[in-house]
Amino acid sequence: LPNNEKNPIILAGHVEGNSWASWFYKNEVAEFTNFFAKLLASKTKPGYRQQVKQEAYCGYVHARANGLVSIVVTDLDYPQRVAFNALKHVTSDFDEIYQSNSSLIKNAKKDYELQSKYGAKFSDLIKKYKDPVKADKVLQIKKDLEETKTILNKALDSLLERGEKLENLVEKSEMLSDTSKEFYVKSQGSKC
C-alpha cells in the first residue's frame, strides 16, 4: 500500500481464512481485511513498524520511508517475530519485482492494480507462512526440542516404572531367601 493518508490503495494482496466461517464469509473477511489494512496504512508513520490488535485479529505493519506499507493480518495466536519476518519477505519480494519500474506504483489508481504481476508470488509466500512452525527455523527447533523432551520424559517414566518392578522382585527374592533359609534350618533339624 502506498501511504496516502486520505485513501490508501492496495497494490496487491492475498486474503486467506483458516476456518469454516471464512469460507462461508470469504467476501466479508476480505472486505474487513482490506478495511483494516487501509486503516493501518493511513495511521502508521513512514519508517515505523507496529503491531495492532483488534478483537480476534492482529495487524503487523511496516511503513517504509518511500511511502509503501506492507501489512499482514493474522489471528492473535500468530507469533509476532514470524509475522514481521513475513513482512520482510513481502517487502523484499515486492522490491525485487517493482524496483526498476516505480512508475507503476505511482500511477496506481485502484485496489489490486498490481495483483497480476505480484499476486502469485504473494500467494506462495502467504502459503509458506500459514504454518509459522514450518516457516520459522527457531519455532521448528523449539517444536523439535519439545518433542524430544516429551520422548525423554516418557522414557524416564518407563525406567522408573521398571525400577519399581525390580524393587518388588528384589524384595520378593529376599523374602524367598529368608523362607528358604528357615526351611533349610527346619529340614536340618528334623534329620538329627
- Spatial neighbors of 63 by CB under 8 A, at least 6 apart, are 3, 41, 44, 45, 46, 47, 48, 49, 69
Going through 86-154 in order, the beta strands assigned E by DSSP cover: none
pTM equals 0.62
Look-up of cell digits 523362607: 179
pLDDT bucket at 12, cuts 50 / 70 / 90: confident
For residue 30, the one-letter residue type is A
Nearest to 76 by CA among 60, 58, 59: 58
- Determine the Cα–Cα distance for residues 33 and 30; give it in Å rounded to an integer: 5
59 and 51 Cβ atoms separated by less than 8 Å? yes
Higher pLDDT: 44 or 26? It is: 44
Looking from the CA of 46 toward its CB, the CA atoms found within 13 Å total 10
pLDDT bucket at 181, cuts 50 / 70 / 90: low
Give the model's pLDDT for residue 75. Answer: 84
Cell, residue 9: 490503495
- Taking only the tens place, the pLDDT of each residue in 119-175 is 677 777 777 877 777 777 777 777 777 888 888 777 767 766 666 665 666 666 666
Give the model's pLDDT for residue 164. Answer: 65
